[in-house]
Amino acid sequence: MEGDCHYLEGNLNARRRVEYVQNLLEEIGLDGRRIRMFNISSAMGAQFAGYASELAATIREVGPNPLRDYQAYLAEQQEAVASGMV
């Protein structure tokens, strides 16, 4: 649970980093809702299922990653680099 972490304050630090990544995704134009952090313990099966459904619903709303073909795109770029363009 929040602040009650095996690594002491680790999950509080992690939360800030998740917020950083959310902002970065927003800046890039990828929708920051694609990443979220939930705090649950191993004994909270029902909550886990609830959060999973919540996240699934959000992701359906946000839609597929528009850069899904990014790997192919990167390969294209690397080819361009290799061919001496960059």
Partner 1 sequence: MIVAEQKPLAEMKTLINGAENVLVVGCGTCVTVCFAGGTREADIVSTSLRMATKLDGSPQQVTHSTVQRQCEWEYLDIIEEQVKAADIVLSLGCGIGVQAIAEHFPDAWVVPGLNTSFLGLPTEHGVWEERCAACGECLLAVTGGICPVARCSKSLLNGPCGGSENGHCEIDPDVACAWQLIVDRMSSKGKLDALLEIQPPKNWQNSRDGGPRKIVRQDLRLVEFED
80 near partner 1, judged by CB under 8 A: yes
Residue type, 27: E
62 near partner 1, judged by CB under 8 A: no
64 near partner 1, judged by CB under 8 A: no
29 near partner 1, judged by CB under 8 A: yes
Distance (Å, rounded) from C-alpha 75 to C-alpha 83? 12
Interacting stretch for partner 1, rule CB under 8 A, among 2-10, 33-41, 46-54, 68-76?
A: 68-76
63 near partner 1, judged by CB under 8 A: no
Whichever of 47 and 78 has its CB closer to partner 1, that residue is 78
Residue 66 burial (C-beta neighbours within 10 Å; 0-12, 13-18, 19+) = exposed
| 21 within 8 A of 35, measured Cβ to Cβ | yes
Distance (Å, rounded) from C-alpha 35 to C-alpha 56? 11
Contact residues for partner 1, defined by CB under 8 A: 24, 27-30, 66-67, 70, 73-74, 77, 80-81, 84-86
